[in-house]
Amino acid sequence: MKTLKIGDVTVDRVQEWAGNLFDVASFWPGRSWDAIEGERGWLEPHFLLPTDKMKKGVLQASLHSFLIRTPKHNILVDTCVGNHKQRNSLPAWNMMNSDYLAKIAALGAKPEEIHYVMCTHLHFDHVGWNTKLENGRWVPTFPNARYIFAKTEYEHWLSDKDGHAMDGSFEDSVLPVVEAGRADLVKSDFAIDDTIWLEPTPGHTPGSVCINLSSGGGSAIFTGDAIHHPIQIAYPEWSTAFCSDAAGSEASRRKIINKICDTGTYLMAAHFMDPTIARVVRNKDRWKLKI
């Protein structure tokens, strides 16, 4: 992804990992691969590999953060899996040792220069780099940042630390931030200023939020896992096996699609493959992405 400029704000992607991830049969139980093939015309080549290059029945995905730089703040959206963390649910992400921080440095940002870390939700692949291992302890990776957690989301996982798709992350990537006094538990419509604000999109998790950006007449929405893969633009009814409320997840996707369809707003999801940036447009009686 090339640097995106929206008014006087820039957005860069910081990728931690990419590869085969979504086994359609298990990720979207009961859904048909034929439906995906029916959308190949716009999914290929960015979001669906040519038939001879893909693993049958599996879709590729990216694991990344977004670095937003406004005239006042440096903001990191979602923080991937993180290094040295035991994640038993997915071998490819277990005990990672990536160059994530070096990639941020290459963009010209030091950890101490991040003002806000904003997590769309608290699953383990969105909070990992909240902390780093230092002298045997988990400490905030971005020492001067305020970490923004939706209060509803935090309180849910506080009483369900070992819940679905947490895999130890609450203990090593969320609680240490709270204990260090760096976390702000906010309402789901919290705003940093008139450029950046949250919007509730529950369903994938009880307190999931999207992050809106507006500057100079341009806009973007960072959807977290309200949308995992572009196929859900065409089929918003496809909630995943990881969604806590399938109907709520579908409703949140439809809300996003209806809000930005055929507008200039960029959709920026947490797991889309490169080029990551796209706009939603009408496609007969459904929708698709336009790059």
The count of other CB atoms within 10 Å of the CB of residue 146 is: 18
pLDDT exceeds 90 at position 14: yes
pLDDT tens, residue by residue, 267-287: 999 999 999 999 999 999 999
The pLDDT of residue 207 is: 98
164 — pLDDT class (breaks 50, 70, 90): confident
Sketch the domain layout of the chain as residue ranges.
4-290
pLDDT at 153 over 90: yes
- Residues 119 and 212: their CA atoms lie apart, in Å, by 13
For the chain, the distance separating the N- and C-terminal CA atoms, rounded to the nearest angstrom, is: 12
pLDDT at residue number 218: 98
Q: Which residue has the tokens 């669906």?
A: 48
Secondary structure of residue 226 in the 3-state scheme = helix
Position 182 pLDDT exceeds 90:
yes
From residue 271, give the alpha-carbon distance in Å to each of 28, 121, 199. Answer: 15, 14, 19
Between strands 146-150 and 137-140, the pairing is unpaired
Measured distance CA(231)–CA(14) in Å, rounded = 23
Q: 132 CB contacts (<8 Å, ≥6 apart)?
A: 82, 83, 138, 139, 140, 141
Q: How far apart are CA 13 and CA 275, in angstroms?
A: 10
Per the prediction, the chain carries an average pLDDT of 97
What homologous superfamily does CATH list for 4-290? Answer: Ribonuclease Z/Hydroxyacylglutathione hydrolase-like (3.60.15.10)
**Above 90 in pLDDT, residue 42?**
yes
Is residue 78 classed as helix, strand or coil in its secondary structure? coil
- SS3 state of residue 138: strand
DSSP 8-state code for residue 51: G
* pLDDT tens digit sequence for 54-110: 999 999 999 999 999 999 999 999 999 999 999 999 999 999 999 999 999 999 999
Across 157-174, average pLDDT:
96
Question: Residues 272, 203, 198, 232: what is their CA dihedral angle, to the nearest 10 degrees?
Answer: 30
**Structure pTM?**
0.98
